Amino acid sequence: MLGYAQEQRSLTRDQKQAVGLLSIGTFLEYFDLMLYIHMAVLLNDLFFPKSDYYTHSLLSAFSFCSTFIFRPIGALIFGWIGDNIGRKATVVITTFLMAVSCILIAVIPTYAEIGFTAALVFTLCRVIQGMSSMGEKVGAELYLTEITSPPIQYPVVSMISGFCTLGTSCALGVASLILSLGINWRIIFVIGAIVALVGTVARRKLRETPDFVNAKLRLKKAMIEANKDPEILKNNIVWNEKVNKKTAFAIFLINCAWPICFYFVYIHCSDILKHSFNYSPEQIINHNFIVSLAEIVSFFILLYLSYKIHPLKILKFVSIIFLVFVLTCPFLLMFYIKTPFALMCIQSFLVAFAPGVEPAAAIFFKHLPIFKRFTYSTFMYATARALIYAITSFGMIYLIKLFNHWGLLIVMLPVSFGYIFGINHFKKLEIAAGNYLQKV
């Protein structure tokens, strides 16, 4: 990748429109997706059989991670669409699928009414939501990457994750409101479906990204020069550009970090609140809502910094903080967490310094070939999350049972070291491209 030819410090009118459509759509997608996750303490009791603690935990864990386990399949499907049809098509289709799944969840009878069929249909809806959210987030980030340039590119692309976080917080706020006022929880899924359908129509106004269009035009020109002979593609440098396996692996390792932080903050700590402090579902949701506000504030501070400081320098600092946290986490949980407020402080600290792809997502995308960019970025993203969520959802139940809080280290330490390796790899690529030391 060559150094950036020209800095961009403001957005054009068309770019602002694209940012607005994609950000709002992503917000709605993640509002619908996370509404269930944060209401799981209530909905799992409605859609799954009540039995002993560990059986119920396993069923709940399967419902949680089913959203992520099937994401690699969604990545392959939407990756193919994004790399062969266009970036625009993916964000339109995924919004529509989310609307359909929300409608289904709103009308499914409970386990008490139709038995195991309720659990099966409910889990299927979660799978559809997981697959559609896969193409949504990465599709929106990739779209903005290809229509902007640094340094404005870094916060603009990262803003998509910011709206994912906002969607998560609003889902928590709405869940808290619904439970406190005694409103039927199905109503909010109906509202979510309606808004998602409106978003589907609105996103049809988007234009295809220039990077994708220009690459297509170059291939079309090559076909014309060869009298439309398809064999010319075999010799075209754009079509045949290969993905560096080490780069793809680095993206995979970087994407493994956030899922374990999310699980620890919102799932594991919820169990601590429930079993150690006897918190009710309403209290847990209210507690986590406050934590999510700390996540929002810290995230937008991160976006501002990315406009001034190279994103990889920020993530390098975050990786060190996270490693220190991982090493001290068992001690904190065993000896210092005496009140729910103390636990909230730990949760808030972790969401503030949780390692992830932001604000460097655009950098990772740009080091992948144009016609393989969507497929590889979505597949690495989906596979990493599916693996880590599966390990944490099922593995943590037994690791903590066997080793108490020390069991967290078995998963968190390898993930921390892998993240550091991935960041260092892209640092080398950026230095070689002449971008890392560039003043932004």
The pLDDT tens digits of the residues spanning 278-315 come to: 988 778 888 988 898 888 888 889 888 988 899 999 99
**Stated pTM of the model:** 0.76
Cα-based torsion angle of the residue sequence 379, 381, 384, 389 in order, rounded to the nearest 10 degrees: -120
The pLDDT tens digits of the residues spanning 52-62 come to: 565 656 666 66
- Identify the burial level of 164 via C-beta atoms within 10 angstroms of its C-beta, where 0-12 means exposed, 13-18 middle and 19 or more buried: buried
Look up residue 372 and give its two tokens.
């393989």
Q: What is the pLDDT of residue 408?
A: 86
Whether 1 has a pLDDT exceeding 50, the answer reads: no
Residue labelled with tokens 């998602």: 196
Domains along the sequence of the chain with CATH: 13-433 (1.20.1250.20)
The band of 202, judged by pLDDT with boundaries at 50, 70 and 90, is: low
Q: What is the pLDDT of residue 416?
A: 94
CB 5 within 8 A of CB 145: no
CB 3 within 8 A of CB 434: yes
Top-confidence residue, 311 or 86? 311
Whether 64 has a pLDDT exceeding 70, the answer reads: no
Q: What is the pLDDT of residue 255?
A: 92
The band of 218, judged by pLDDT with boundaries at 50, 70 and 90, is: low
The pLDDT tens digits of the residues spanning 368-389 come to: 887 778 788 888 888 888 888 7
Question: What pairs with residue 8 in β-bridges?
Answer: 151
Distance CA 82, CA 209 (A): 11
Give me the phi and psi of 242, to 5 degrees please.
-95, 155
Top-confidence residue, 363 or 97? 363
Whether 32 has a pLDDT exceeding 80, the answer reads: no
Distance CA 409, CA 169 (A): 28
Residue 14 to residues 17, 26, 212, Cα–Cα distance (Å): 5, 18, 17
User: Average pLDDT, stretch 185-190?
Assistant: 78
User: Average pLDDT, stretch 96-121?
Assistant: 82
Whether 149 has a pLDDT exceeding 50, the answer reads: yes
